[in-house]
């Protein structure tokens, strides 16, 4: 059992189903503790490797982009999400429809658990 929180966070982000988005809290919960939400954003910021880590599927609880310049800009994030099939409402992601459901969360959790 490694304490590599960042690794678990990355894995969790990579496990986000296509066409869905996850909040920092959910990623943190998948990483092991929902209170790590702050650290999730921090770790993702350290990882510009959006190719292996789809950071664009990670949004804040309001469904908005992180606010900061992510992998290229919030506009880029929106375009990426739209390309994934995620609709935007009033400039933010429609969380009611595209936030990962309990089943998705369960699947991701299981995969993360099965990993190590």
Q: Is 72 in the site for DNA (CB under 7 A)?
A: no
Q: Is 107 in the site for DNA (CB under 7 A)?
A: no
Q: Which of 12, 70, 100, 112 binds DNA (CB under 7 A)?
A: 70
Q: Is 23 in the site for DNA (CB under 7 A)?
A: yes
Stretches 31-39, 87-95, 96-104, 105-113: which one binds DNA (CB under 7 A)? 31-39
Q: Is 44 in the site for DNA (CB under 7 A)?
A: yes
Residues touching DNA: how many (CB under 7 A)?
Answer: 29
Contact call for residues 55 and 70 (beta carbons, < 8 A): yes
**Shortest spacing between CB 47 and DNA, in angstroms:** 6
**How many angstroms separate the CA atoms of 91 and 18, rounded?**
20
User: By C-beta, is 90 or 103 nearer to DNA?
Assistant: 90
Element (H, E) at 88: strand 88-89
Residue 115 burial class via C-beta count within 10 angstroms: exposed 0-12, middle 13-18, buried 19 and up: exposed
Q: Closest by alpha carbon to 2, among 40, 31, 34, 44?
A: 31
């Amino acid at each position: 059992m490694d304490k590599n929180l960042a690794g678990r966070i990355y894995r969790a982000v990579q496990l986000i189903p296509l066409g869905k988005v996850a909040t920092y809290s959910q990623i943190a919960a998948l990483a092991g503790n929902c209170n790590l939400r702050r650290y999730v954003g921090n770790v993702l910021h350290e990882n510009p490797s959006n190719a292996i880590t789809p950071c664009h599927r990670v949004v804040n609880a309001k469904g908005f982009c992180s606010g900061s310049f992510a992998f290229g800009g919030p506009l880029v994030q929106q375009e990426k999400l739209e390309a994934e099939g995620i609709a935007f409402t009033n400039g933010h992601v429609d969380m009611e429809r595209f936030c990962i459901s309990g089943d998705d969360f369960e699947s991701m959790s299981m995969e993360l658990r099965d990993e190590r």
